[in-house]
Amino acid sequence: MPIEKIKEAFKDPENQDDALRSLIFDLDHFEIARRLHELNLEHKVRVFHLLEDDEKRQELLYETDMDSRLEIQENLDRDYLAALLDDMPEDEATDIIQELPGDAQDELLSKMEVQDAEIIKDLIRYEEETAGGLMTPHFNKIPFDSRAGDIFTKIRRESNKEIPPYFYVVNQSNQLLGFFKLRDLMNIQTSALAKEFIRPETPKVYLNDPCEKVAHLMGQEHLSSLPVVDDDNVIQGIITFDDVIRVMQDSASEDIYTMVGTAKVDPFAKKISNKIIARAPWLLTTFIGGLVSAWLLGAYQTTLADYAAVIFFIPFVMGLAGNVGIQGATVIVRGLATGDIQKDNLATVVKSEISVGILNGVIFGLLCGGLVYLTSESFMHTNPVLGWVVGTGIILAVSLASLLGSLTPTLFINLNIDPAISTGPIITVINDILGLAIYLATAAYFFSTL
């Protein structure tokens, strides 16, 4: 692995910069960026400077984790960093600058070229995971009265540049009229005007649309880029698939880490102290949940003392309820993330998940309750009523868990909270407490009738 070779090279004090530069030259700098967090600060900065050119330094800076990126930037001359960002695509430079505090942002922007700085200032206004934050202002903008022959001639003159596959046609006010593909240009007369051969049904997104919507539309329309327009249909830029994939990967990772209560950003790169600070609040939730569960057990200690067999099935009831709740929440959270669940079908999916959860509760409640009822006297030497307790407790606890797991993502969406939290430690602890309370209350009720 490249990073292992670099680590070994740094251990040898006799290795000079020339030898290290030669080693790094032969290694994949993207792989180095991915595992740069394994080096200490001094070695990170040295690796950055030993790369052969600024293009690789830009890519390393953009592709590495946020902690390493911030550390490297703090050790760079501000004029050099500004020049480095100047030569990067504006959307990528914006992502990097957005991570810096306000004063550092202003300082860098003041040192950059005026045109680039103005573009980045416009992009910074939008949240990172929206269409406005992801778009690039460079695209093929074609006036509606341009002739096909003139467009084709311009393309040939710029043959040394990469030609984007889509061309967006606008009117005098820069409002989007439609688009055409490069192959469309090859199959029409040279005298045809752009407005005559555009595809009027143009898939587009708005500046504040979330990344999930962009990704869903791209997949649905099989397009590698989408135009971004404002409320007046004025085109502001385009979003390319590579930017969407990157953000969706980051978003998926963030959701997974949120579900288990770990750090949201760069968990592999964080220092141990930062990891402890990030995860301790979630563990505190579990600690408090444990205290509440202990209090519940104490409140029903009379029932537990008289009918100790009730305790044997507590893990079973809580395990079933917890799994059903997590299943429902996960299905909905994932569907929302992929775009498979929209406003028009959200209620249907929620009802379906609740129904499935409740039916599973009934099935396993009857199965387990019946089994306990038939074997309670012969194997556990206790009252057969225990079967009614276990069966009813499972049905009620699982049904409530299904409701909680299926409805909380919707509730969090309406409160503008990441719905991934609905499968995290807080909801899990609440689910466990409610399941335990229902089971113990059911036991107390049935045994009080004897």
What does the domain layout of the chain look like in residue ranges?
2-128, 141-240, 272-448
* Short-list 37, 40, 38, 8, CA closest to 24: 8
CB 9 within 8 A of CB 23: yes
- Which CATH number is 272-448's, of 3.90.740.10, 1.10.357.20, 3.30.300.160, 3.30.930.20? 1.10.357.20
Q: Give every residue of the chain whose pLDDT is below 70, as ranges.
A: 1-2, 14-15, 158-163, 250-271, 274, 278, 337-339, 418, 420-424, 450
CB 48 within 8 A of CB 69: no
The pLDDT value given to residue 311 = 87
Classify domain 2-128 at the CATH class level: mainly alpha
CB 282 within 8 A of CB 427: no
The pLDDT value given to residue 154 = 80
The pLDDT value given to residue 190 = 83
The separation between the first and the last C-alpha atoms of the chain, rounded to the nearest angstrom, is 70
Query: Around Cβ 130, how many Cβ atoms within 10 Å?
Result: 21
Report how far apart, in Å, the C-alpha atoms of 363 and of each of 209, 368, 435 are: 42, 9, 17
φ, ψ for residue 425, nearest 5 deg: -60, -35
CB 29 within 8 A of CB 51: yes
The pLDDT value given to residue 397 = 92
- Please tell me the distance from the alpha carbon of residue 307 to that of residue 293, in angstroms, as a whole number: 18
The pLDDT value given to residue 267 = 59
38: DSSP letter: G
Token pair 């301790």 in the structure block, residue: 280
Q: CATH topology of 2-128 equal to that of 272-448? A: no
The pLDDT value given to residue 86 = 87
Classify domain 141-240 at the CATH class level: alpha beta
- Please tell me the distance from the alpha carbon of residue 349 to that of residue 339, in angstroms, as a whole number: 13
Instruction: Identify the burial level of 239 via C-beta atoms within 10 angstroms of its C-beta, where 0-12 means exposed, 13-18 middle and 19 or more buried.
Output: buried
